[in-house]
Amino acid sequence: MWDLPRGWSLLYSALRTSKAGRVGALLLLALLLAASALFALGSGAADVPIHRAVAALIGRVDGADLRIVYELRAPRVLLGILVGGGLAMVGATLQCVLQNDLADPYILGVSAGAGVGATLSMLGAAPGGPAAPWSTALFAFIAALISVAIVYRTAKVEGSLPGPRLLLAGVAFSSFATALSAFLLFFAREAAQVRGVFFWLIGGLADASWPQVLMVSLVLLPSTALLFASASRQTVFLLGDEAAQSLGLSVMRTKAALIVIAALITATTVAVAGAIGFVGLIVPHALRPFFGPDQRFLLPAASLGGALLLVTMDTAARSLFVPEEVPVGVLTGLLGAPFFLLLLRRRAVGGGPL
């Protein structure tokens, strides 16, 4: 943690150790998310005043403002909240379960693997028509599970899962899966299919729609509830597998269940938003100093923080270079890759393991 003046340091310590302080910080994150969402509804190539954006949401205005806010921006903002919150929770869960704070669905190859499944679904769609969202999500989920199994089995040594081997296996498999998806592009029959595959390779929310919001909600809301319900058991993993086993926790069964849930969330987000990277790495690391390692507080904080990050980044992606739009996955990559290198450098200087 960075050095703080003594007064601020005492306040920070009190907030971190106080349940009321952490609950207050969660409420602050929720308020920031609400403000960011309102700002996103009014920002873009055509600015809409916030009061008119709110009026459009409740059906009090007609015409262009209604179409811009309700049909285009509202589903995009909601999808950003769901995808960003889901990816951040997956990152926090994987870092806890695998006992490696560099774990992330993008770095471990889960996102790239899910993308291969999504690509196969897109290429198998009827000529001239888009792939069905549910079939794309199913293909992505199956591919994500296969990716997890390959990376896990490659890194596992005598019943343990060394951090460096896990990261190397994930990076190697991610490169392979990305290359495989690029190879499959040669079999695309139409330009629309090429665009669809290229879209998830970069990651973005430009094609957000209400049906996608519904599909993601039906998957992420129960999955999120399961992760919240398992928060106490996740925290036990921080003591080590042997300690968790001695406390009566079925280590392998619990880990397998949590990894399946993480793969399901990742696959669903990839199916609708592409392989948006590093959200699951940045957010837990940014919030852990304030909320501590207890997953009962870190998971909801990561959910709110991930949603806040992605909505803010997406607003910037469609507002900075009007009338052009930068895919939000480009911005998260520009932010996340240096962040990952900084973490590696800090560990190397500190003499800690990967």
| SS3 (DSSP) at 54 | helix
Q: Inform me whether the pLDDT recorded for 4 exceeds 60.
A: no
At the fourth CATH level, which superfamily is domain 35-350? ABC transporter involved in vitamin B12 uptake, BtuC (1.10.3470.10)
Model pLDDT for residues 109-160, shown as the tens digit of each residue = 888 888 888 888 877 764 444 556 677 778 888 888 888 888 878 877 666 6
Q: What are phi and psi of 276, to 5 degrees?
A: -75, 120
Neighbouring CB atoms inside 10 A of 247's CB total 11
Mean pLDDT of the chain: 81
Structure tokens at 158: 């005598």
Q: Is the peptide bond before 162 cis (omega within 30 degrees of 0)?
A: no
| SS3 (DSSP) at 336 | helix
Measure the CA–CA gap between 180 and 46, rounded to whole angstroms.
39
Question: What pLDDT shows up at residue 35?
Answer: 93
Question: What pLDDT shows up at residue 26?
Answer: 94
Give the contacts of 150 (CB within 8 A, at least 6 positions apart): 109, 113, 169, 173
Q: What is the mean pLDDT of residues 215-228?
A: 93
CA 136 vs CA 45, 65, 67, 96, 200: distances in Å: 30, 32, 27, 29, 12
| Contact status, residue 293 vs residue 165, Cβ threshold 8 Å | no
Q: What is the mean pLDDT of residues 189-215?
A: 79
Question: What pLDDT shows up at residue 111?
Answer: 83
N-term to C-term CA, the chain: 18
Question: What pLDDT shows up at residue 245?
Answer: 86
Neighbouring CB atoms inside 10 A of 210's CB total 13
Nearest one of 90, 64, 96, 78 to 34, comparing CA atoms? 78
104: DSSP letter: -
Q: What is the mean pLDDT of residues 212-222?
A: 92
Q: Inform me whether the pLDDT recorded for 269 exceeds 50.
A: yes
Neighbouring CB atoms inside 10 A of 183's CB total 11
Question: Cα Rg for the chain, rounded, in angstroms?
Answer: 20
186: DSSP letter: G
* % residues pLDDT > 70 (the chain): 82
Q: Is the peptide bond before 323 cis (omega within 30 degrees of 0)?
A: yes
pLDDT grade, residue 216 (50/70/90)? very high
* % residues pLDDT > 90 (the chain): 25
Question: What pLDDT shows up at residue 122?
Answer: 78
- The DSSP result for 222-251, as a single string, is HHHHHHHHTHHHHHHGGG-HHHHHHTT--H
- The helix (H) or strand (E) run that includes residue 212 is helix 210-229
| SS3 (DSSP) at 275 | coil
Q: Inform me whether the pLDDT recorded for 11 exceeds 50.
A: no
Give the contacts of 138 (CB within 8 A, at least 6 positions apart): 121
Measure the CA–CA gap between 113 and 68, rounded to whole angstroms.
34
| Contact status, residue 287 vs residue 305, Cβ threshold 8 Å | yes
Q: Inform me whether the pLDDT recorded for 299 exceeds 90.
A: yes
Spacing of C-alpha 40 from chain mean position: 19
CA 118 vs CA 87, 193, 199, 205, 268: distances in Å: 17, 11, 11, 16, 10
Question: What pLDDT shows up at residue 89?
Answer: 96
157: DSSP letter: B
pLDDT grade, residue 59 (50/70/90)? low
Residue predicted with more confidence, 14 or 229:
229
Spacing of C-alpha 178 from chain mean position: 18
CA 39 vs CA 35, 207, 244, 279, 309: distances in Å: 6, 20, 44, 21, 13
Model pLDDT for residues 233-267, shown as the tens digit of each residue = 999 988 888 888 888 888 888 888 898 898 889 88
pLDDT grade, residue 168 (50/70/90)? confident
Question: What pLDDT shows up at residue 173?
Answer: 92
Question: What pLDDT shows up at residue 51?
Answer: 67
